[in-house]
Amino acid sequence: SQTIHQWPATLVQPVGSPLSLECTVEGTSNPNLYWYRQAAGRGLQLLFYSVGIGQISSEVPQNLSASRPQDRQFILSSKKLLLSDSGFYLCARDRGSDYGYTFGSGTRLTVV
């Protein structure tokens, strides 16, 4: 199984508050993991990817950070949310020799 668990499904947070979104994956060990953000009309924007524990690469400078404390855990965080952080956040893992990705069901974040 390559299931991905993301929570929460929906989140409403005030501007300036912290954020922590968690993603855990099943399946083969040492997967590549990804955080994407999807804003209205802007497609999928790759935010971070990780090829192993403690290894994080950032694709876009921003108000967010990511961590990978365990092989199958990927966390997206912010110390102080901005209105522009609103969007739909998706976690994904690679499928190994299958080359594609498996996606989680996403978190809808609204910053108010």
Partner 1 sequence: AQSVTQPDIHITVSEGASLELRCNYSYGATPYLFWYVQSPGQGLQLLLKYFSGDTLVQGIKGFEAEFKRSQSSFNLRKPSVHWSDAGEYFCAVYYGGSQGNLIFGKGTKLSVKP
Give the nearer residue to partner 1 in terms of CB position, either 48 or 78. Answer: 48
* CB atoms closer than 10 angstroms to residue 22: 15
**At its nearest, how many Å lie between partner 1 and the CB of residue 32?**
5
Measure Cα distances from 60 to 37, 43, 72, 100 in Å. 11, 15, 23, 22
Min dist CB 44 to partner 1, Å, is 5
Beta bridge partners of 13: 111
Nearer to partner 1, 64 or 90 (CB): 90
CA 21 to CA 35: how far, in whole Å? Answer: 10
The residues that touch partner 1, with contacts defined as CB under 8 A, are: 4, 6, 32, 41-44, 46, 49, 51, 57, 88, 90, 92, 94, 98-106, 108
